[in-house]
C-alpha cells in the first residue's frame, strides 16, 4: 500500500483517533444520528425493554422502602447517552403506571437524561412529549461526559449534583454505552500481559469524506509490547488481570478502564452506592474471551465494539455487589444489573424483577422473536399479530410495518379482534414518541379505522395527518375525510373536503360524482 493511498500511525488503543471521530459524529449529527437506524435504536428503545427496566426500577424503589422505610429523598435515575429520548419517555410512562397501580408509599424519583452532545440536550428540552414530564418534576437533563465528568449540572432545576450530595443510591442506566467508550486493549499470552498498540490506516483523502465514510475506510493492525502496567499491585483492577493471566491464552481482551472509572465517579455522587442496569453487545462469560481475535469495528453510522461485562462483574462481585447477568447465552443484546449498596443480597424485589423481566423472557428474546415475526408477517393471522403487538407494548414501529397485513386481515376479523385492535391503537397513540425520522402514524391509523367503518375516529386521525403534512396531502385522504363526514351526516364539511380534493385533481371522477349528488 503506497503512502499516496493510505496514511498510517500507531496509537495506544484507548487513545486512537477512532474515539474522536465517533465523538464528532454524534456532535455533528445530533438527533439525526438515529434516522433510518443509522445508529441502532429500536433494540434498546422499544416499549418492551422500557417496561423491563421500569419493572426493575420499581422493584428497587420497593426494596428501598423495605430496607430504609419511607423517605422523601428522591431517587435519581441517570441515563447515560440517552440518544433519541424514546427509551426514557417509555420508562417514565411505565414507571408512573406501576407507581399508581401499587398505591404504596415509594420514594419519589427524578429521571435525568444525559448525553455528551449538547445539541441532543437542547432537542430533548424542545420535544413536546417530554415537556409535561419536566413540568411535573419527573424529568431533567444534563450534559455529561462519561469519560471525565465528576458532577451533574441539571438544566431545568439549575441544581448541580456533586460528590456525596445524594442520600439515596444513584440509579444508572447505560444502554449501548460501554461498547462505545474508549477501551484498553491487552493481549494475554504465555501468562503475560502485553499492550496491543493499534496501527490505524485510513484513506489519504479522509478530509474530503464524512465521518462514516472515514470509519468505513479504516483498517486496523496491531503490534504488541510487554508492559508491567497492568500487573503492578497498585493497578486498581489487578485482580481481574491476574485472573486473565491465569485463565486465558492467545487472547485479545478489551478492558473497560474508562467505563469502570465512570461508575466510580457516579458512585461518588451518592452516600449509599448505585444500581446499574445496562444493555449492550457485551460478554460476561470468561470463556467467550478465550482465544479472542483482535477487535473489529462494527460500523453503524459511528462504530461500536464488544463490551467486557466480565470485568464489570468480577470487579463488583469482589466489592460485595449483587451482579445479575442471564445464565444463558445472549444473541443480540445482553442485559445486566449491578447493585452496589449495603446488604445488596437483601434486595429481593430487584432479584425477582430481573428474573421476570430478563431471565425468563427479556429484551434479547423479544428482539430475536421480532426478527422472526418481521420475516413471517404475511403468514400470520390477526390473533398472532395482536398478541405480538401486545407483547411489544403496542409499539408504533411494529404497527407501521404491519399495517398492510392488518388491513388484509380485516375483512375476516371478528368483533372481538376489531375491538382489541382499536384498543391497541388508542394505547399506542397515547404513548407514541415522535423521533427525528417521522412516520405518518396518524395517516396509517386513520386509513385503517376507515376500513373498520369507525368514521368519527378515522376523521380525527386523518385530520391530524392533514395538519401535520399540509403541503403533502394526497387526494385519497380528502376523499376518505369526505366519506367520513357524509356517513356522520356532516354534509357541508364533507363537501368542503370534496372541493379540496378537486383542487388537487380537477378530473377526479369519484369526487365529481359525489359533488353531483348534492347539486
Average pLDDT of the chain, as a whole number: 90
C-alpha cell at 36: 433510518
* Whether 9 contacts 199, CB under 8 Å: yes
- The predicted-structure confidence for 113-152, as pLDDT tens digits, reads as follows 999 889 899 999 999 999 999 999 999 999 999 999 999 9
pLDDT value, residue 32: 66
pLDDT value, residue 6: 46
Q: Of 23-27, 46-50, 378-382, which gets the smallest average pLDDT?
A: 23-27
Residue 445's Cα: distance from chain center in Å? Answer: 25
Mean pLDDT across 393-399: 94
Mean pLDDT across 203-219: 73
Question: What does the alpha-carbon distance between residue 143 and residue 265 come to, in Å, rounded to a whole number?
Answer: 15
* Residues in CB range of 218: below 8 A, 6 or more apart: 18, 200, 201, 202, 297
Query: Which pLDDT band holds residue 210 (cuts at 50, 70, 90)?
Result: confident
pLDDT value, residue 36: 52
pLDDT value, residue 419: 97
pLDDT value, residue 3: 44
* Whether 288 contacts 294, CB under 8 Å: no
* Cell 382499536 -> residue: 422
- The predicted-structure confidence for 74-119, as pLDDT tens digits, reads as follows 999 999 999 889 999 999 999 999 999 988 788 999 999 999 889 8
The dihedrals phi and psi of 437, each to the nearest 5 degrees, come to: -80, 100
Mean pLDDT across 55-83: 93
Fold of the CATH domain 23-181+259-367: Rossmann fold (3.40.50)
Q: Of 221-235, 343-357, 379-393, which gets the smallest average pLDDT?
A: 221-235
pLDDT value, residue 5: 39
| Domain ranges for the chain | 23-181+259-367, 184-249, 379-518
Give the residue with greater pLDDT, 454 vs 32. Answer: 454
**pTM (two decimals):** 0.91
CA angle 278, 152, 340 (to 5 degrees): 40
Give the residue with greater pLDDT, 216 vs 151. Answer: 151
| Other CB atoms within 10 A of residue 89 CB | 26
Question: What does the alpha-carbon distance between residue 134 and residue 418 come to, in Å, rounded to a whole number?
Answer: 36
* Whether 291 contacts 251, CB under 8 Å: yes
Instruction: Tell me yes or no: is domain 379-518 CATH 1.25.40.10.
Output: yes
The answer to whether residue 462 scores a pLDDT higher than 60 is yes
Amino acid at each position: 500500500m503506497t503512502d499516496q493511498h493510505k496514511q498510517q500511525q500507531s496509537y495506544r488503543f484507548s487513545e486512537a483517533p477512532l474515539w474522536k471521530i465517533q465523538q464528532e459524529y454524534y456532535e455533528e449529527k445530533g438527533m439525526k444520528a438515529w434516522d433510518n437506524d443509522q445508529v441502532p435504536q429500536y433494540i434498546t428503545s422499544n416499549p418492551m425493554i422500557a417496561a423491563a427496566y421500569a419493572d426493575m426500577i420499581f422493584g428497587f424503589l420497593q426494596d428501598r422502602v423495605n430496607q430504609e422505610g419511607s423517605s422523601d429523598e428522591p431517587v435519581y435515575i441517570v441515563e447515560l447517552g440517552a440518544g433519541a429520548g424514546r427509551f426514557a419517555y417509555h420508562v417514565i410512562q411505565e414507571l408512573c403506571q406501576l407507581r399508581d397501580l401499587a398505591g404504596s408509599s415509594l420514594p419519589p424519583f427524578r429521571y435525568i437524561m444525559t448525553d455528551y452532545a449538547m445539541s441532543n440536550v437542547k432537542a430533548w428540552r424542545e420535544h413536546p412529549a417530554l415537556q409535561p414530564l419536566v413540568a411535573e418534576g419527573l424529568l431533567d437533563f444534563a450534559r455529561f461526559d462519561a469519560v471525565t465528568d465528576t458532577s451533574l449540572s441539571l438544566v431545568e432545576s439549575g441544581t448541580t449534583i456533586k460528590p456525596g450530595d445524594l442520600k439515596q443510591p444513584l440509579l444508572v442506566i447505560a444502554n449501548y454505552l460501554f461498547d462505545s467508550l474508549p477501551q484498553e486493549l491487552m493481549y494475554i499470552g504465555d501468562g503475560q500481559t502485553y499492550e496491543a498498540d493499534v496501527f490505524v490506516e485510513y484513506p489519504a483523502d479522509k478530509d474530503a469524506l464524512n465521518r462514516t465514510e472515514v470509519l468505513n475506510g479504516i483498517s486496523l493492525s496491531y503490534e504488541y509490547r510487554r508492559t508491567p502496567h497492568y500487573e503492578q499491585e497498585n493497578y486498581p483492577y489487578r485482580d481481574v488481570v491476574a485472573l486473565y493471566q491465569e485463565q486465558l491464552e492467545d487472547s485479545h481482551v478489551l478492558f473497560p478502564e474508562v467505563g469502570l472509572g465512570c461508575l466510580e465517579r457516579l458512585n461518588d455522587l451518592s452516600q449509599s452506592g448505585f444500581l446499574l442496569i445496562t444493555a449492550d453487545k457485551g460478554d460476561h462469560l470468561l470463556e467467550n474471551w478465550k482465544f479472542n481475535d483482535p477487535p473489529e469495528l462494527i460500523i453503524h453510522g459511528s462504530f461500536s465494539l464488544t463490551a467486557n461485562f466480565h470485568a464489570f462483574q468480577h470487579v463488583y462481585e469482589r466489592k460485595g455487589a449483587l451482579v445479575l447477568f442471564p445464565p444463558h447465552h445472549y444473541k443480540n443484546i445482553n442485559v445486566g444489573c449491578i447493585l452496589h449498596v449495603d446488604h445488596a443480597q437483601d434486595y429481593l424485589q430487584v432479584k425477582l424483577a430481573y428474573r421476570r423481566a430478563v431471565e425468563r423472557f427479556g429484551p434479547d428474546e423479544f428482539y430475536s422473536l421480532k426478527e422472526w415475526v418481521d420475516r413471517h408477517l404475511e403468514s400470520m393471522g390477526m390473533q398472532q399479530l395482536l398478541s405480538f403487538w401486545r407483547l411489544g407494548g403496542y409499539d408504533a414501529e411494529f404497527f407501521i410495518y404491519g399495517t398492510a397485513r392488518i388491513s388484509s386481515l380485516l375483512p375476516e376479523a371478528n368483533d372481538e379482534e376489531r375491538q382489541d385492535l382499536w384498543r391497541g391503537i388508542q394505547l399506542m397513540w397515547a404513548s407514541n414518541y415522535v423521533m427525528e425520522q417521522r412516520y405518518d402514524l396518524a395517516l396509517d391509523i386513520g386509513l385503517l379505522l376507515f376500513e373498520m367503518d369507525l368514521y368519527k375516529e378515522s376523521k380525527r386521525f386523518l385530520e391530524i395527518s392533514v395538519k401535520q403534512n399540509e403541503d403533502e396531502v394526497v387526494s385519497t385522504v380528502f376523499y376518505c375525510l369526505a366519506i367520513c363526514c357524509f356517513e356522520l351526516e356532516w354534509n357541508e364539511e364533507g363537501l368542503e373536503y370534496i372541493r379540496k380534493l378537486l383542487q388537487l385533481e380537477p378530473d377526479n371522477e369519484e369526487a365529481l360524482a359525489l359533488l353531483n349528488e348534492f347539486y
